[in-house]
Amino acid sequence: MTVPDTARTPRRTPAERARDLALVATFAALIAACSLTSIAFSAVPVPITLQTFAVLLAGAVLGPWRGTAAVGLYLAVGAAGVPVFAGGAGGLASFAGPSGGYLMAFPFAALVVGLAVRAAGRRGTVGTAVAVAVGALVATAVTYAIGVPVLAGRTAMDLGAAWTFNWAFVPFDLVKAGLVVVAAPAVLRAFPALRGGRAPQPSPFATEVAAA
């Protein structure tokens, strides 16, 4: 008969923790680079960046906790004054401005999409893509739910006008969410270890007992 292995999962090794830190730093840098890359469109009053794409990708690829940590590191660097926010902005004043609510919503967005992908488990490319799509849409809604009221509170717009203003960005955000749906499963398929966790390890406490 087999005695079940009820041992707790081993703690992460120093090498695994170092890898996690490197991934968090790498994705924080990616978010910064995407925030500073902008394209002007006549349909919207400000240039469009890939900032939200990188935020969602961090959550989808790194998982809820490392993805949120990457976004948090990016925001901390920007809050310290490094010009990594959209338009080359930086400093605490960015959080007090009209777009501050969107910045504050980013960790929640990464967390939501990361949880969606984790809940899906290893369901293959299609299953992962569906999880990313659902997570990205919910995360985008969360970003709006936090960002739009702050936008209204820090400008002369009322809440209705703020939602109308925000509506112009929705098609672009949907395109960016779609890019994440394509990119994240491809990255996870190429680098499955990015899903986090540890590979199952044999436990010294699991034993095989021959039946008498």
pLDDT tens digits, one per residue of 28-62: 999 999 999 999 887 777 889 999 999 999 999 99
Q: What's the pLDDT band for 8 if we cut at 50, 70, 90?
A: low
Residue 12 has pLDDT above 60, yes or no: yes
Q: Which two tokens stand for residue 36?
A: 């500073």
Q: What's the pLDDT band for 196 if we cut at 50, 70, 90?
A: low
- The residues that bridge with 208 in the sheet, in sequence order, are 2
User: According to DSSP H, which parts of the chain are helical?
Assistant: 14-35, 51-62, 64-79, 93-96, 100-120, 124-153, 159-167, 170-190
Contact predicate 73/23, CB 8 Å: no
Per-residue pLDDT, averaged over 72-96, amounts to: 97
Residue 202 has pLDDT above 80, yes or no: no
Distances (CA, A) of 180 to 45, 117, 148: 24, 12, 23
Provide the pLDDT for residue 91: 97
Residue 6 has pLDDT above 90, yes or no: no
Residue 197 has pLDDT above 90, yes or no: no
In this structure, which CATH number among 3.40.462.20, 1.10.1760.20, 3.40.50.1360, 3.40.50.10860 belongs to the domain 19-37+45-193? 1.10.1760.20
Residue 193 has pLDDT above 80, yes or no: yes
User: Where in the chain are the domains?
Assistant: 19-37+45-193
Q: What's the pLDDT band for 203 if we cut at 50, 70, 90?
A: very low
3-state secondary structure of 208: strand
Residue 201 has pLDDT above 80, yes or no: no
Task: Give φ, ψ of 2 to 5 degrees.
Answer: -105, 130
- Burial-class residue 134 by CB neighbours within 10 Å (0-12, 13-18, 19+): middle
Q: Which residues contact 177 (CB under 8 A, 6 or more apart)?
A: 53, 56, 133, 136, 137, 140
Work out the number of other CB atoms within 10 angstroms of the CB of residue 203: 13
Residue 76 has pLDDT above 60, yes or no: yes
Residues of the chain with pLDDT > 70: what percent? 87
Per-residue pLDDT, averaged over 133-151, amounts to: 97
Contact predicate 132/125, CB 8 Å: no
Contact predicate 139/184, CB 8 Å: no
